[in-house]
Structure 1
């Protein structure tokens, strides 16, 4: 038998007992006869028995079919990798259900993304060490979905070259990453030191040492994408310690040290002393920082004195007063540092003590490897920002550069981070406004998350909203509104004037009411006790006395709105424009703050947003001209548009805030094949806006929209109009109904 040529028959029979031995022989013969080559067959024959012993004979036999499928669809390399990866997975996933899920995922990727199967198998050790089977399944589904069917993008995801792949890996593993904390770290640094430098995630193409430690250079602060092994509150404390430490450098390290002819060990030691100096000065001003820094100093005396070990122990000795180290070199460094306390205000003390300890280290003949040195503890920066290499790096000693070269990152454009931008956090709406760059005819103004209902998670910064300047046109449908619908304009305006939308105000000192006015009650009691006549107006009540509503009307202008209304020469967009103008006139007459915007989309990277009228702008003929200038085109990515409109509404101080959406089609876009995907994302956007006090209502035009409008907005917050012509009359009346 083929199996017997690879391992002893006795060993194989123990792995595949009873009838399973014959089943094993059958799959081996089929695999050998399929013509996949010796590499594939030998890999399976060598590793399947071990898999049978680790997991089960059934799992090992089932693996043969997966190997065969991979050989056909993904190639021989992927097929040969599968048995090896299966052993790794079985060692981590010790329960049968988890291993079965892993096998199913490998088969799924082989079927749906064959070009990425080998990459997934290459990453097995990393993935199974960080993700349980359920989280791995979620990560794989994200990779298959987020690529939009493009093989190159899928491959970048599964090789972890795509920054989104790494971000999702962090989220699924439960590790705290920079992106999770970015919005909290910026105000934290500002509160501590009054510093607000731009923060960036360390690029994925940076050297490994640079990806493991924070750094600062010029005006930019870099932080690792994650600290492996630190999760939850520990991970957040580590990021806060890193930010606080760099803030101390920004405050107290006022000049860069010239590299000159220093050796790598001296550079590392001067940096270490400078780290300790700025932390001591920082804890003088902010004593609580000591409780943040000290727990991360975990170095202990060890039998073998290595340079990295001694450096970590010295760092702890200078930071932790309770730590006692027996090594004479560490004791000398601690004594020299604290005896010079009076000189801590100047940086030269770091240079003097660092040079002294570096010379002693050389006499001790302790070897220092600058290429593999990583600063300890992990919150401390890579020291790049402390040193001046001069105008020409090539003139410096190549040896001296090695200790810092691993941390040097070229300022190259990289897909892992956006261009420099001015940011404004939008906590109320879950988005981030980012004025970034001029993009084609529009300005890339914001990135928002998008919800994937399959994985049950939001993909951060997944959609890009670009604001385009609306065109202005004359003699369009809006300009003809007065002539064609003069009676309707007057009737609707009169109707809206009778509406009552207001904030409930508390009226005190009433003769009767809904509650007791405690101040009035106390005054009445005091008056009675001193013999004066008491005021009997001791009640209070609530009354709505003024209108207090802000409205944003959001119009869908996708390509489908160019179609003619049944039985008319007008398009759906013509009706939308006239209806919007009529409603705008009525609201302007009432004095309600309102805005008008329109949207369409060209895949997730280009959601078009047109500001027809902002809340701060008066309604005038120019707004009408902008409505007339709208043109139909592209697709309907409604979730991103609603999030962006919600960001505007969130800034309004009104008692009620209403987002009124008019659309004629189901959410769709060119890069989305799953019909439910954008529906569920829009539904998620509505729920988020509702949580922050923004009401939403949708009017669907001339479509079988009940199935998705009710799902997105709720049955009570959506209406479908079969005759689009009715919108002109119905929209203002509808506004009155939902705005009461």
Structure 2
């Protein structure tokens, strides 16, 4: 039959041929009676899924090839099955919500090592298989200045715990290996014992380069270990909870006091399916600094502002409705201002509502300006003496002032990411806020860090933009590079996910447009945004070009 033909064509040790022996292996040694299911690694070589187990059973690769070092396919199945059996017996789930992604990776490494230590206490013969399958990273091979070496450091640590003859010399590594064995030799260890060890190791060894999108993967894949999905426990969250906290409440919190995460799917172009609830977006109000800094930037570009003002006058709708008695507005209400001054001079309480704002019916647009705040913004721009972040602050300040003059409804947000588990989304200006000192203070405090998981940020921005009661909705994405993150090896993956996010927004009636500051953006930006983008080659001209591009888009 067709199944027999397929089996004859496959090379290596097939799970279907070993299933009965593995059933007996897990039952005899581990007292586990769980169904074993195969999955294929041929469908997606790039992601190379790891073994795992859940309530349904144990999932293993459908085939293992014999290795040159004498480890057979059957030995590899035994190693994977033993490792998961150890987790089922000795691992207790811990809460993941208050741990950063890098802390989780470190905790997983120590817990995997704890499990294998306990396994080898009962069955010493497993050490030979584990050591033969475990990669041997070369010390100092990873460039810690230009690459993220987190995986490299942790794999060396894991190897050092497993192999007494590892030969590594790093003092931090040697100290934590010793501390690990001191804990294990006391006996009766728990997952919580090594959880603290993982947190302390990351705190000791973490460097700024750990956040770089270029991650060192060579000799870091431990093929027989499972994906540790059962190590983590998450708080149950209400997905319908919305961002309705008042700004004054948020401003009093610490920067890490964010709302519970909102989870978004991510498109996998290799399988043409969504990965459900894949990216976790944490949102908060951006910290604030001195708003006078932004006012200084606007004064610096006073001549350009006057030029833009003339363009705005041509675009402004004529069908205006004046709204008087406003504390924040676009014009001074002279009569009310004089009356308030008289009240002040005569000892009465002056009316602070001395401004006028306008509403109109001819131009009904809602805009979200979404800013990429990744690490690369910190790079200097030519001989300007400024960083890309500082130029972006100038440009966005002018753009926000111009949109406010037009009377359009708009918001400003920034984002960066540190793996799919931690996409940070910062509210800088809400739709209901005016262009005021609070907003300017948040814009002045913008910083650069981490990576660019663009698709998740765009979906989250759309979550708010689609509820605006406007005829036209525009998401303006300002970025300086292609989507990337430290947990993604396939460069095309996040590009394709962002492209799918653009299509999703289009179906919601939201027009997406990208202002890209990368001179090499032609290589990828059209794949994401089609023809809905502009590339600014001369970065020093950004403050001048950005407002004009917006005016041309919404003319």
TM-score, normalised via structure 1 length = 0.40
SS at match of 2:493: helix
Q: Give the alignment partner of residue 734 of structure 1, picking from 537, 549, 554.
A: 549
Distance 1:66 1:155, change over 3 A: same
| Stretch deviating more after TM superposition (493-502 or 687-696) | 493-502
Q: For 1:584-603, what aligned pairs fall within 5 Å after superposition?
A: 584-603=400-419
Q: 1:580 aligns with which of 373, 385, 396?
A: 396
> Which residue is equivalent to 1:569?
385
Helix, strand or coil at the partner of 2:405 = helix
Determine if contact 2:262/2:281 at 8 Å carries over to the other structure. yes
Of Structure 1 and Structure 2, which has the larger fraction of its residues in helix?
A: 1
Tell me if structure 2 keeps the 8 A contact 1:466–1:606: yes
| Inter-CA distance 123–684: structure 2 relative to 1 (3 Å threshold) | farther
Is the 1:501–1:548 Cα contact (8 Å) retained in structure 2? Answer: no
1:675 is matched with which residue? 491
The 2-side partners of 1:549 and 1:439 are apart by: 31
Shift of 1:415: 6.9
Tell me which residue corresponds to 1:721. 536
Look up the match of 2:245.
none
Q: 2:47 aligns with which of 142, 145, 167?
A: 145
Deviation at 1:713, TM superposition (A): 0.5
Separation of aligned partners in 2, 1:165 and 1:688: 33
CA shift in 2, pair 1:466/1:164, >3 Å: farther
Aligned residues of 2:298 and 2:397 also touching (Cα < 8 A):
no
Alignment equivalent of 1:155, drawn from 36, 44, 51: 51
Alignment-derived partner of residue 522 in structure 2: 706
Q: SS where residue 585 of structure 1 aligns?
A: helix
The aligned counterpart of 1:480 is: 296
* 1:407-436 deviation digits (Å, cap 9, x = unpaired): xxxxxx98787423333289xxxxxxxxxx
Distance 1:414 1:469, change over 3 A: farther
For the residue of structure 1 that corresponds to 2:381, the secondary structure is coil
The one-character-per-residue Cα deviations of 1:456-487 (angstroms, maximum 9, x if unpaired) are: 00111100011133122227752322331111
Cα deviations by residue, 1:612-639 (Å, 9 ceiling, x for unpaired): 0000111102211111101110000000
**Could you tell me how far apart the structure 1 residues matched to 2:58 and 2:446 are?**
35
Q: Is the 8 A contact 2:453 2:485 kept in 1?
A: yes
1:697 to 499, 513, 517: 513
For residues 340-383 of structure 1, what are the alpha-carbon distances to aligned partners after superposition, in whole Å with 9 as ceiling and x for unaligned? xxxxxxxxxxxxxxxxxxxxxxxxxxxxxxxxxxxxxxxxxxxx
Matches within 5 A, 1:413-562: 418-424=234-240, 440-474=256-290, 478-499=294-315, 546-562=362-378
Task: Give yes or no for the alignment of 1:615 onto 2:511.
Answer: no
* Structural mapping, 1:292-441, within 5 Å: 418-424=234-240, 440-441=256-257
Unmatched tracts of structure 1, length 5 or more:
1-50, 68-78, 88-121, 128-135, 148-153, 167-204, 206-412, 427-437, 504-543
Give 1:614-653 correspondences, 5 Å limit: 614-653=430-469
Q: 1:714 to 1:162 in 2, by over 3 A?
A: farther
1:468/1:609 contact within 8 Å kept: yes
Aligned length: 328
Secondary structure in structure 2 of the residue aligned to 1:464: strand
Relative to structure 1, the CA distance from residue 125 to residue 693 in structure 2 (aligned partners, 3 Å threshold; closer, same or farther) is same
Conserved? CA contact 1:479–1:625, under 8 Å = no
1:165 to 1:689, Cα distance in 2 relative to 1, 3 A: farther
Tell me how far apart the structure 2 counterparts of residues 689 and 165 of structure 1 sit (CA, whole Å).
36
The SS at the match of 2:525 is: helix
Matching of residues 248-259 of structure 1 within 5 Å? none
Larger radius of gyration: 1
- The verdict on how the C-alpha distance between 1:480 and 1:461 changes in structure 2, with shifts beyond 3 A counting, is same
The 3 A distance-change label for structure 1 pair 545 and 593 is: closer
**Change in 2 beyond 3 A, CA 1:502/1:656:** farther
Indicate whether 1:55 and 2:4 are aligned.
yes
Q: Deviations over 1:632-665 (max 9, x none)?
A: 1000000000000011101101000000000001
1:556 touches 1:600 (CA, 8 Å); kept in 2? yes
Equivalent position of 1:66 in the other structure: 12
Residue 444 of structure 1, CA deviation: 2.9
Does the CA-based 8 Å contact 1:659-1:694 persist in structure 2? yes
Q: Within 1, Cα distance between the matches of 2:453 and 2:316?
A: 34
Mapped partners of 2:460, 2:58: distance in 1? 22
SS at match of 2:266: strand
Q: Give, in whole Å, the separation in 1 of the partners of 2:520 and 2:3.
A: 55
Q: Distance in 1 between matches of 2:424 and 2:503?
A: 23
Alpha-carbon separation, structure 2, partners of 1:502 and 1:701? 35
C-alpha root-mean-square deviation of aligned residues, in Å? 3.8
Checking the alignment, whether the CA contact within 8 Å between 1:501 and 1:739 is kept in structure 2 is no
Describe the superposition over 1:19-58 as per-residue Cα deviations: whole angstroms up to 9, x where unpaired: xxxxxxxxxxxxxxxxxxxxxxxxxxxxxxxx9x9734x9
C-alpha change, 1:673 and 1:54, in structure 2 (3 Å) is closer
Q: TM-score, normalised by structure 2?
A: 0.53
1:201-225 CA deviation, whole Å, 9 max, x = no partner? xxxx9xxxxxxxxxxxxxxxxxxxx
State the SS of the aligned residue for 1:566: coil
After TM superposition, list the pairs within 5 Å mapping 1:194-233 onto structure 2. none
Give me the whole-angstrom Cα distance separating, in 1, the residues matched to 2:292 and 2:43. 48
How far apart in 2 are the matches of 1:446 and 1:502?
41
CA distance in 2, matches of 1:59, 1:548: 63
